[in-house]
Chain A
Amino acid sequence: MATIKEPKDAWQLRVYPLFTLLGWVLITVSIIIGFFVLSSSAASYWGESAKAVRDAAEAGSSLLGQLNVLAVTPRWLEPLTFLGVAAFMVGIALEFSSIPNLLNNRGHVMGVCFPLIVKQSGE
Protein backbone atom coordinates (compact mmCIF):
# COMPACT_ATOMS: atom_id res chain seq x y z
CA MET A 1 0.00 0.00 0.00
CA ALA A 2 1.37 3.40 -0.98
CA THR A 3 2.11 5.69 1.90
CA ILE A 4 1.92 9.45 2.17
CA LYS A 5 5.17 11.09 3.17
CA GLU A 6 5.07 14.29 5.14
CA PRO A 7 5.97 17.18 2.81
CA LYS A 8 9.40 18.74 3.30
CA ASP A 9 9.32 21.92 5.33
CA ALA A 10 9.62 24.72 2.74
CA TRP A 11 12.42 27.03 3.92
CA GLN A 12 11.20 29.68 1.48
CA LEU A 13 7.97 30.09 3.47
CA ARG A 14 9.99 30.82 6.62
CA VAL A 15 12.32 33.30 4.89
CA TYR A 16 9.97 35.32 2.66
CA PRO A 17 8.29 37.31 5.50
CA LEU A 18 11.77 38.59 6.47
CA PHE A 19 12.34 39.93 2.97
CA THR A 20 8.85 41.46 2.85
CA LEU A 21 9.45 43.11 6.22
CA LEU A 22 12.90 44.32 5.12
CA GLY A 23 11.38 45.86 1.97
CA TRP A 24 8.66 47.56 4.00
CA VAL A 25 11.15 48.97 6.52
CA LEU A 26 13.56 50.29 3.84
CA ILE A 27 10.78 52.00 1.86
CA THR A 28 9.24 53.46 5.03
CA VAL A 29 12.69 54.79 6.05
CA SER A 30 13.15 56.39 2.61
CA ILE A 31 9.72 58.08 2.73
CA ILE A 32 10.41 59.36 6.28
CA ILE A 33 13.77 60.80 5.17
CA GLY A 34 12.04 62.33 2.13
CA PHE A 35 9.35 63.96 4.28
CA PHE A 36 11.36 65.14 7.26
CA VAL A 37 14.92 65.67 6.00
CA LEU A 38 14.95 66.35 2.26
CA SER A 39 11.66 68.26 2.04
CA SER A 40 12.49 70.64 4.91
CA SER A 41 16.07 71.17 3.64
CA ALA A 42 14.75 71.88 0.13
CA ALA A 43 12.16 74.31 1.50
CA SER A 44 14.87 76.21 3.44
CA TYR A 45 17.48 76.16 0.70
CA TRP A 46 15.28 77.07 -2.28
CA GLY A 47 12.73 79.27 -0.51
CA GLU A 48 14.63 81.42 1.94
CA SER A 49 17.47 82.89 -0.14
CA ALA A 50 17.83 84.41 -3.59
CA LYS A 51 20.12 82.73 -6.12
CA ALA A 52 22.86 85.31 -5.57
CA VAL A 53 22.87 84.56 -1.82
CA ARG A 54 22.87 80.77 -2.45
CA ASP A 55 25.75 81.09 -4.93
CA ALA A 56 27.78 83.24 -2.52
CA ALA A 57 27.44 80.79 0.40
CA GLU A 58 30.80 80.06 1.99
CA ALA A 59 32.18 76.82 3.40
CA GLY A 60 30.65 76.01 6.78
CA SER A 61 27.52 78.13 6.20
CA SER A 62 24.06 76.66 6.82
CA LEU A 63 23.14 77.17 3.16
CA LEU A 64 26.04 75.01 2.04
CA GLY A 65 25.07 72.44 4.68
CA GLN A 66 21.55 72.29 3.22
CA LEU A 67 22.96 72.01 -0.31
CA ASN A 68 25.15 69.17 0.90
CA VAL A 69 22.13 67.32 2.31
CA LEU A 70 20.17 67.88 -0.93
CA ALA A 71 23.03 66.76 -3.16
CA VAL A 72 24.32 63.82 -1.10
CA THR A 73 21.23 62.17 0.44
CA PRO A 74 19.43 61.20 -2.82
CA ARG A 75 22.61 59.49 -4.01
CA TRP A 76 22.29 56.78 -1.35
CA LEU A 77 18.57 57.09 -0.65
CA GLU A 78 17.48 56.07 -4.14
CA PRO A 79 19.57 52.86 -4.18
CA LEU A 80 18.22 52.13 -0.68
CA THR A 81 14.64 52.51 -1.95
CA PHE A 82 15.40 50.18 -4.85
CA LEU A 83 16.89 47.73 -2.36
CA GLY A 84 13.52 47.83 -0.56
CA VAL A 85 11.65 47.13 -3.81
CA ALA A 86 14.12 44.33 -4.61
CA ALA A 87 13.58 42.81 -1.14
CA PHE A 88 9.83 42.71 -1.83
CA MET A 89 10.47 41.04 -5.19
CA VAL A 90 12.80 38.45 -3.63
CA GLY A 91 10.06 37.68 -1.07
CA ILE A 92 7.52 37.20 -3.86
CA ALA A 93 9.97 35.01 -5.82
CA LEU A 94 10.50 32.85 -2.71
CA GLU A 95 6.74 32.41 -2.34
CA PHE A 96 6.47 31.37 -5.99
CA SER A 97 9.35 28.92 -5.57
CA SER A 98 7.50 27.10 -2.78
CA ILE A 99 4.41 26.43 -4.93
CA PRO A 100 5.93 23.62 -7.13
CA ASN A 101 6.72 21.59 -3.98
CA LEU A 102 3.17 22.08 -2.72
CA LEU A 103 1.77 20.94 -6.07
CA ASN A 104 4.13 17.93 -6.11
CA ASN A 105 2.89 16.93 -2.68
CA ARG A 106 -0.71 17.41 -3.78
CA GLY A 107 -0.02 15.21 -6.82
CA HIS A 108 1.45 12.53 -4.54
CA VAL A 109 -1.58 12.65 -2.23
CA MET A 110 -3.96 12.45 -5.20
CA GLY A 111 -1.91 9.49 -6.51
CA VAL A 112 -2.58 7.64 -3.24
CA CYS A 113 -6.21 8.75 -3.23
CA PHE A 114 -7.16 7.47 -6.71
CA PRO A 115 -6.54 3.71 -6.14
CA LEU A 116 -8.73 3.97 -3.02
CA ILE A 117 -11.50 5.62 -5.02
CA VAL A 118 -11.22 2.95 -7.75
CA LYS A 119 -11.33 0.16 -5.14
CA GLN A 120 -14.33 1.78 -3.45
CA SER A 121 -16.24 2.08 -6.72
CA GLY A 122 -15.33 -1.59 -7.59
CA GLU A 123 -16.97 -2.80 -4.40
Chain B
Amino acid sequence: MQKLIGKMARMYPLFILMGFMIVVTAFVVGYLNSQAATAYFAESKVIRETTLMAQRATIESVGLWLPYFKFLGIGFILSGIVMALRVIIDALKGAGNQVLANLPEGKRPALPATPWYGLWMPAVMMLGLTVFIVALIVSIDLAGIAQGLFANPLPVIDAAGAGSALLVQVQAIHSTLAWLIPLKFFAISTEFLAIAMGLSTIIYILSNQTKMIDEGIQLARSLRQRQGKANIEKKSERVLA
Protein backbone atom coordinates (compact mmCIF):
# COMPACT_ATOMS: atom_id res chain seq x y z
CA MET B 1 0.00 0.00 0.00
CA GLN B 2 2.77 2.44 1.01
CA LYS B 3 4.66 1.58 -2.21
CA LEU B 4 1.57 2.33 -4.26
CA ILE B 5 1.08 5.66 -2.45
CA GLY B 6 4.77 6.43 -3.08
CA LYS B 7 4.32 5.73 -6.81
CA MET B 8 1.18 7.87 -6.99
CA ALA B 9 2.91 10.71 -5.13
CA ARG B 10 5.31 11.08 -8.07
CA MET B 11 2.36 12.46 -10.07
CA TYR B 12 2.45 15.65 -7.98
CA PRO B 13 3.30 18.00 -10.91
CA LEU B 14 0.07 16.85 -12.59
CA PHE B 15 -1.96 17.79 -9.50
CA ILE B 16 -0.32 21.22 -9.26
CA LEU B 17 -0.89 21.83 -12.99
CA MET B 18 -4.52 20.71 -12.72
CA GLY B 19 -5.08 22.99 -9.73
CA PHE B 20 -3.54 25.94 -11.53
CA MET B 21 -5.66 25.29 -14.65
CA ILE B 22 -8.82 25.18 -12.49
CA VAL B 23 -7.96 28.52 -10.86
CA VAL B 24 -7.23 30.07 -14.31
CA THR B 25 -10.55 28.69 -15.65
CA ALA B 26 -12.34 30.13 -12.60
CA PHE B 27 -10.79 33.52 -13.34
CA VAL B 28 -12.03 33.40 -16.97
CA VAL B 29 -15.55 32.32 -15.87
CA GLY B 30 -15.57 35.06 -13.21
CA TYR B 31 -14.56 37.66 -15.79
CA LEU B 32 -17.32 36.53 -18.20
CA ASN B 33 -19.83 36.60 -15.32
CA SER B 34 -18.76 40.16 -14.48
CA GLN B 35 -19.40 41.15 -18.10
CA ALA B 36 -22.88 39.61 -17.89
CA ALA B 37 -23.45 41.56 -14.65
CA THR B 38 -22.30 44.78 -16.38
CA ALA B 39 -24.90 44.30 -19.12
CA TYR B 40 -27.57 43.36 -16.54
CA PHE B 41 -27.04 46.36 -14.26
CA ALA B 42 -26.95 48.75 -17.24
CA GLU B 43 -30.72 48.25 -17.54
CA SER B 44 -33.38 49.96 -15.41
CA LYS B 45 -34.67 48.25 -12.24
CA VAL B 46 -38.08 47.47 -13.77
CA ILE B 47 -36.59 45.77 -16.83
CA ARG B 48 -34.00 43.93 -14.70
CA GLU B 49 -36.58 42.49 -12.32
CA THR B 50 -39.31 41.63 -14.80
CA THR B 51 -37.72 40.69 -18.13
CA LEU B 52 -34.00 39.89 -17.62
CA MET B 53 -34.66 36.89 -15.34
CA ALA B 54 -32.45 34.46 -17.29
CA GLN B 55 -29.44 36.79 -17.00
CA ARG B 56 -30.06 37.25 -13.26
CA ALA B 57 -30.38 33.48 -12.78
CA THR B 58 -27.06 32.89 -14.57
CA ILE B 59 -25.24 35.62 -12.60
CA GLU B 60 -26.58 34.34 -9.25
CA SER B 61 -25.93 30.64 -9.96
CA VAL B 62 -22.38 31.21 -11.24
CA GLY B 63 -21.72 33.29 -8.11
CA LEU B 64 -22.76 30.27 -6.05
CA TRP B 65 -20.57 27.51 -7.55
CA LEU B 66 -17.54 29.52 -8.72
CA PRO B 67 -15.91 30.08 -5.27
CA TYR B 68 -16.01 26.32 -4.55
CA PHE B 69 -14.53 25.57 -7.98
CA LYS B 70 -11.67 28.00 -7.22
CA PHE B 71 -11.13 26.37 -3.84
CA LEU B 72 -11.01 22.94 -5.52
CA GLY B 73 -8.14 24.31 -7.65
CA ILE B 74 -6.35 25.50 -4.50
CA GLY B 75 -7.06 22.06 -3.00
CA PHE B 76 -5.37 20.33 -5.95
CA ILE B 77 -2.31 22.59 -5.60
CA LEU B 78 -2.07 21.93 -1.83
CA SER B 79 -2.49 18.18 -2.48
CA GLY B 80 0.34 18.43 -5.02
CA ILE B 81 2.53 20.01 -2.33
CA VAL B 82 1.67 17.16 0.10
CA MET B 83 2.56 14.62 -2.62
CA ALA B 84 5.86 16.42 -3.28
CA LEU B 85 6.63 16.16 0.46
CA ARG B 86 5.94 12.42 0.24
CA VAL B 87 8.43 12.16 -2.65
CA ILE B 88 11.05 13.95 -0.48
CA ILE B 89 10.31 11.56 2.43
CA ASP B 90 10.73 8.52 0.14
CA ALA B 91 13.98 9.96 -1.28
CA LEU B 92 15.37 10.58 2.24
CA LYS B 93 14.48 7.03 3.31
CA GLY B 94 15.97 5.62 0.10
CA ALA B 95 19.22 7.54 0.66
CA GLY B 96 19.39 6.24 4.25
CA ASN B 97 18.90 2.67 3.05
CA GLN B 98 21.59 3.15 0.38
CA VAL B 99 24.12 4.36 2.98
CA LEU B 100 23.33 1.50 5.35
CA ALA B 101 23.57 -1.07 2.54
CA ASN B 102 27.38 -0.50 2.58
CA LEU B 103 27.63 -1.96 6.09
CA PRO B 104 27.87 -5.72 6.66
CA GLU B 105 24.40 -7.19 7.18
CA GLY B 106 24.98 -8.15 10.81
CA LYS B 107 26.24 -4.71 11.84
CA ARG B 108 23.59 -2.77 9.92
CA PRO B 109 21.44 -0.71 12.32
CA ALA B 110 17.72 -0.72 11.64
CA LEU B 111 16.29 2.49 10.17
CA PRO B 112 13.64 4.00 12.44
CA ALA B 113 10.09 3.28 11.31
CA THR B 114 8.09 6.10 9.73
CA PRO B 115 6.11 7.90 12.48
CA TRP B 116 2.30 7.57 12.54
CA TYR B 117 1.79 11.08 11.23
CA GLY B 118 3.90 10.22 8.19
CA LEU B 119 1.72 7.19 7.47
CA TRP B 120 -1.52 9.15 7.93
CA MET B 121 -0.45 12.12 5.82
CA PRO B 122 -1.85 10.79 2.47
CA ALA B 123 -5.18 9.89 4.14
CA VAL B 124 -5.53 13.42 5.61
CA MET B 125 -4.68 14.89 2.19
CA MET B 126 -7.34 12.74 0.51
CA LEU B 127 -9.87 13.74 3.19
CA GLY B 128 -9.23 17.43 2.45
CA LEU B 129 -9.60 16.87 -1.31
CA THR B 130 -12.83 14.91 -0.75
CA VAL B 131 -14.28 17.76 1.34
CA PHE B 132 -13.42 20.21 -1.48
CA ILE B 133 -15.21 17.96 -4.01
CA VAL B 134 -18.25 17.55 -1.71
CA ALA B 135 -18.43 21.35 -1.23
CA LEU B 136 -18.33 21.83 -5.04
CA ILE B 137 -21.11 19.25 -5.58
CA VAL B 138 -23.31 20.94 -2.92
CA SER B 139 -22.63 24.36 -4.47
CA ILE B 140 -23.58 23.07 -7.97
CA ASP B 141 -26.83 21.79 -6.43
CA LEU B 142 -27.40 25.24 -4.89
CA ALA B 143 -26.66 26.85 -8.27
CA GLY B 144 -29.42 24.67 -9.77
CA ILE B 145 -31.82 25.84 -7.05
CA ALA B 146 -30.82 29.47 -7.75
CA GLN B 147 -31.47 28.95 -11.49
CA GLY B 148 -35.00 27.81 -10.66
CA LEU B 149 -35.58 30.57 -8.10
CA PHE B 150 -34.36 33.49 -10.17
CA ALA B 151 -36.28 32.34 -13.24
CA ASN B 152 -39.17 34.09 -11.43
CA PRO B 153 -39.50 37.90 -11.42
CA LEU B 154 -38.15 39.46 -8.21
CA PRO B 155 -41.58 40.86 -7.13
CA VAL B 156 -42.95 37.28 -7.29
CA ILE B 157 -40.09 35.98 -5.14
CA ASP B 158 -40.62 38.84 -2.66
CA ALA B 159 -44.36 38.09 -2.45
CA ALA B 160 -43.81 34.36 -1.71
CA GLY B 161 -45.53 33.40 1.54
CA ALA B 162 -44.39 31.04 4.29
CA GLY B 163 -44.39 27.41 3.13
CA SER B 164 -44.32 28.31 -0.58
CA ALA B 165 -41.89 26.51 -2.90
CA LEU B 166 -40.07 29.78 -3.68
CA LEU B 167 -39.44 30.52 -0.01
CA VAL B 168 -38.19 26.95 0.51
CA GLN B 169 -35.65 27.59 -2.28
CA VAL B 170 -34.57 30.90 -0.68
CA GLN B 171 -34.26 29.08 2.66
CA ALA B 172 -32.19 26.24 1.13
CA ILE B 173 -29.71 28.67 -0.44
CA HIS B 174 -29.19 30.80 2.67
CA SER B 175 -29.10 27.99 5.25
CA THR B 176 -26.73 25.85 3.15
CA LEU B 177 -24.35 28.73 2.46
CA ALA B 178 -24.11 29.34 6.23
CA TRP B 179 -22.22 26.06 6.71
CA LEU B 180 -20.75 25.63 3.25
CA ILE B 181 -18.46 28.66 3.62
CA PRO B 182 -16.75 27.35 6.81
CA LEU B 183 -16.62 23.87 5.21
CA LYS B 184 -14.25 25.05 2.47
CA PHE B 185 -11.96 26.50 5.14
CA PHE B 186 -12.14 23.17 6.97
CA ALA B 187 -10.95 21.51 3.75
CA ILE B 188 -8.08 24.02 3.43
CA SER B 189 -7.09 23.41 7.06
CA THR B 190 -7.12 19.64 6.47
CA GLU B 191 -4.68 20.11 3.56
CA PHE B 192 -2.51 22.35 5.76
CA LEU B 193 -2.57 19.68 8.44
CA ALA B 194 -1.31 17.13 5.88
CA ILE B 195 1.52 19.53 4.91
CA ALA B 196 2.43 20.01 8.60
CA MET B 197 2.46 16.21 9.07
CA GLY B 198 4.71 15.79 6.00
CA LEU B 199 7.16 18.41 7.23
CA SER B 200 7.22 16.82 10.70
CA THR B 201 8.07 13.48 9.07
CA ILE B 202 10.92 15.06 7.08
CA ILE B 203 12.28 16.68 10.26
CA TYR B 204 11.98 13.34 12.12
CA ILE B 205 13.85 11.43 9.38
CA LEU B 206 16.58 14.10 9.05
CA SER B 207 17.14 14.18 12.83
CA ASN B 208 17.24 10.39 13.13
CA GLN B 209 19.59 9.90 10.18
CA THR B 210 21.99 12.52 11.56
CA LYS B 211 21.82 10.86 14.98
CA MET B 212 22.59 7.50 13.34
CA ILE B 213 25.66 8.89 11.54
CA ASP B 214 26.76 10.47 14.81
CA GLU B 215 26.45 7.12 16.60
CA GLY B 216 28.39 5.45 13.77
CA ILE B 217 31.23 7.95 14.21
CA GLN B 218 31.34 7.35 17.99
CA LEU B 219 31.45 3.59 17.34
CA ALA B 220 34.24 3.91 14.76
CA ARG B 221 36.25 6.11 17.13
CA SER B 222 35.95 3.71 20.05
CA LEU B 223 36.91 0.78 17.76
CA ARG B 224 39.97 2.70 16.55
CA GLN B 225 40.95 3.58 20.13
CA ARG B 226 40.64 -0.11 21.17
CA GLN B 227 42.65 -1.17 18.12
CA GLY B 228 45.32 1.42 18.91
CA LYS B 229 45.60 0.22 22.53
CA ALA B 230 45.84 -3.41 21.41
CA ASN B 231 48.66 -2.49 18.97
CA ILE B 232 50.59 -0.66 21.72
CA GLU B 233 50.22 -3.67 24.08
CA LYS B 234 51.49 -6.04 21.33
CA LYS B 235 54.49 -3.76 20.69
CA SER B 236 55.38 -3.55 24.41
CA GLU B 237 55.06 -7.37 24.74
CA ARG B 238 57.45 -7.78 21.80
CA VAL B 239 59.96 -5.32 23.38
CA LEU B 240 59.80 -7.19 26.71
CA ALA B 241 60.29 -10.54 24.97
Contact = CB atoms under 8 A, between A and B. Distances in A.
Given A43-B175, A46-B167, 14 more contacts: A28-B186, A31-B186, A35-B178, A35-B182, A41-B178, A43-B171, A46-B174, A51-B157, A52-B159, A84-B185, A91-B196, A92-B199, A109-B217, A116-B217
Contacts, number: 134
Interface residues of A, number: 54
Interface stretch (B31-39, B42-50, B205-213): B205-213
A42 B214 CA distance: 62
18 contacts: A16-B196, A31-B179, A31-B182, A38-B179, A39-B175, A45-B174, A46-B173, A47-B162, A47-B168, A48-B162, A50-B161, A52-B159, A91-B192, A99-B203, A99-B206, A105-B210, A106-B210, A120-B220
Contact of B196 (A70, A81, A92): A92
Interface of A: 1, 4, 7, 13, 16, 20, 23-24, 27-28, 30-31, 33-35, 38-43, 45-53, 70, 77-78, 81, 84-85, 88-89, 91-92, 95-96, 98-99, 102-103, 105-106, 109-110, 112-113, 116, 120
B185 A30 contact: yes
Contact of B158 (A16, A31, A35, A51): A51
Contacts of A30: 182, 185
Contacts of B199: 92, 95-96, 99
Contacts of A35: 178-179, 182
